[in-house]
Structure 1
């Protein structure tokens, strides 16, 4: 992963870590659910700071006492709305990386020959369903220089050029606003479709 400028946390120090640390980027993506994106992607920097480090280490996190690591995320202000369960997920992710990649998160994508292979590697990670894996794949391809053949196709709609669907498309405040608008519209459409279906079933 090439070192790059990311603007996902909207915080210079947190974004700097995301841009140079593959594990921080993965953990930020893992945390990105049920809370605002900026909160999620600020999480890796907060975790590292509370552990007295300037980066995250998969071996260290994997080996920590679960209660001690949960306390790192639970400390006020909490790293996530559900800090206990997310601490468990982050540890599971790190343990998987240690077991399968010797603790080197870049191993997930470094040797992937195709986009399909990379997607397979990502979906195998604890806490990464297909959608999360596709969004992270798109982030790798669009902003982090990881572009195996077929990566756009493997990322699905998230790999589309000029789209504003996800964190993969956020490069600053303007694009953040566009992604938020897209998500709000998608949420509205989904709610409308659900209500229409319920009305038909009630007839």
Structure 2
């Protein structure tokens, strides 16, 4: 989103390997010790503003920059509605599926938890696929914070979590088309490289 808006920013890597998210400095931005978190030194009224939760950050940046959010009030609320769809459904369900499919959960003999999250993830993909029928993006021709919130989760579901076959992603062609268009955006390509990690010694 910061690359899309063109707003100046300074990225900071928060490493879970060294528990950076538990540092007093990070907790001063986000007492819930999760990423992302931002601080805008030039917030409303010229005062610094710290924000956490990706949905809140996206709305703030959209309003500050005047980008990725419709001007029409009804379309604005519809965009926020789809942002909440990610926050309340896509994110939690895909994240749980990732745990039970890729991480420690894969060792569980009982596959009911994994299958429950796979089924719900598949249902959510169906909702998204139907929404994208005949639309380039979630809100139509205009790229918005709804796309910025939703499509990285689908990308992670397929790539990082490797759960495409499990959810039958081939049944959701509108979703895969939108993800391909998303990763082709120059701002997304730049954002995926930030912050750059130092190369590991050979």
Q: TM-score, normalised by structure 2?
A: 0.34
Structure with greater helix percent: 1
Q: TM-score, normalised by structure 1?
A: 0.34
